[in-house]
Amino acid sequence: MYPNCPKCNSSYTYEDDDLFVCPECAHEWLQNASEEEEEVAVVRDANGNVLQDGDAITIIKDLKVKGSSAPLKQGTKVKSIRLVDGDHNIDCKIDGFGAMQLKSEFVKKL
């Protein structure tokens, strides 16, 4: 009995050399890879550059902030970001605003 596909949970997987293959979603994975290992989501900025924890970014558009009368201005620089799961995939601290969550589509890597 072959393991279910880790991506779509299909039971129709088959073996091809040292890989398991799912015919439903075309996902391939190694036989001896641990099941705890998950695919890491790649977060990209507005220009398509890959973002990583600790990167410095700049905001590319004025952003309204709930609960604040002043928006985040275009060109605001943010140091040492942290990537998280979810719609707003960047956690950071912005001088004058405090802790914020931003969407990666509104920033660019410095």
Do 26 and 60 belong together in one domain? no
Domains of the chain: total: 2
Whole-number average pLDDT of the chain: 87
Mean pLDDT of the region 66-80: 91
In 1-110, at which residue ranges do the beta strands (DSSP E only) sit? 14-16, 19-21, 28-30, 43-44, 50-51, 57-59, 77-78, 82-83, 90-94, 98-102, 107-109
**CATH number of domain containing 69:** 2.30.30.40
pLDDT of residue 36: 44
Q: Write the pLDDT tens digit of every residue in 31-70.
A: 765 444 445 678 899 999 999 999 999 999 999 988 888 8
Q: Residue 75 belongs to what domain range?
A: 56-109
CATH of the domain at 7: 2.20.25.10
Q: Is residue 7 part of a domain?
A: yes
Distance CA 21, CA 110 (A): 39
